[in-house]
Amino acid sequence: MNPFGVHLLTFLYRTALGPRPDISEWQPLVLSQQWGILYLLLAVPAVLGLIWSRREHVPALMAVLLVVMAMPFLAARHIPLALLAIAVIAAEHIGDAWSRVAPAPPRLPAAAARLTRAACLGLAALLIVLSVPRFSCIALGSLSAGARPVRAVTLLKQSGVTGNMVVDFNWGTYVLARLGPGIKVSIDGRRETVYDGDMQAQSLRFRFGLGEWDTLLTRYDTHLALVAKDTPAFNLMKQRPGWKLLYDDPLSALFGRDGLPQVAAIERTPVSAVPHDGIGLCFP
């Protein structure tokens, strides 16, 4: 009993192996980047530990570990799973190998041990005190690729407009949460569970400016477009006749089709003073 019926198995097959060029966490791990360095710091000791450990190497566990350690090279989103597998399966082998190459550390004097425990307790208490202000507000920090067009969406919300809007894939779910159901979006994070393959392809072409990139503007009754300024769609929209730039900031740009009442309503609405990317605001 599920929305896909007997087609659920083929659906899972397509979603597991289909490309996702618009989602950064589905790209292969790059060892020279931050997550890649963290992965190496644990993966290298794990491999060396397996080689030098005298403990039993259970074939099933070794197979699971090696497969999970290889998964980040298909999609970076598997890095946390690989790190957990290293901690659970390889830790005993790393410890055994280390005991063979490193002398046993000297035992701390009783006074030093008590001082160490006191320092750890003091640090824990300090961290609890520093976290108290966050009990009532989870402040949004720098989200880099996950930044949200908070000021642009606030402008749309305060204008009260409704209509159909092309959005960047990363922002579709956020726009739905803030502006739905009055504003309908071209794509959101539900991807193939809601949108067919053709619609997903149109969104990718629009974002990257490929081929017939403007199908979303010409085939449908589209009133607005909210695009990321670091994508080709921004430059293409600026040059497209019949579309007007209504608002922009360092992160996003809002365009409207000339002559529509939605455009006039947005132009009459003052721009809010909220941070353009929401940094510092409370979640939700």
Quote the pLDDT of residue 151.
95
pLDDT of 78 > 70? The answer is yes
Give tens-digit pLDDT for 233-256. Answer: 999 999 999 999 999 999 999 999
Sorted by where each begins, the domain ranges of the chain are 5-101, 144-283
The whole-angstrom separation of Cα 62 and Cα 66 is 6
Residues 131-179 have pLDDT tens digits of 888 888 877 766 545 688 999 999 999 999 999 999 998 899 999 999 9
pLDDT value at residue 192: 81
* Radius of gyration of the chain measured on its C-alpha atoms: 26
Q: What mean pLDDT do residues 65-92 have?
A: 93
Whole-prediction pTM: 0.72
Say what the pLDDT of residue 146 is.
64
Q: Which two tokens stand for residue 39?
A: 């992965």
The predicted model gives 182-202 an average pLDDT of 90
What's the N-to-C CA distance of the chain in angstroms? 33
Rounded Cα distance, 80 and 82, in Å: 5
Among 28, 133, 118, smallest CA distance to 82 is for: 28
What six digits make up the tokens of 66?
Answer: 């090696």
Question: Distance between CA atoms of 237 and 245, rounded to whole angstroms?
Answer: 8
Measured CA distances, 215 to 193, 196, 205 (Å):
21, 15, 8
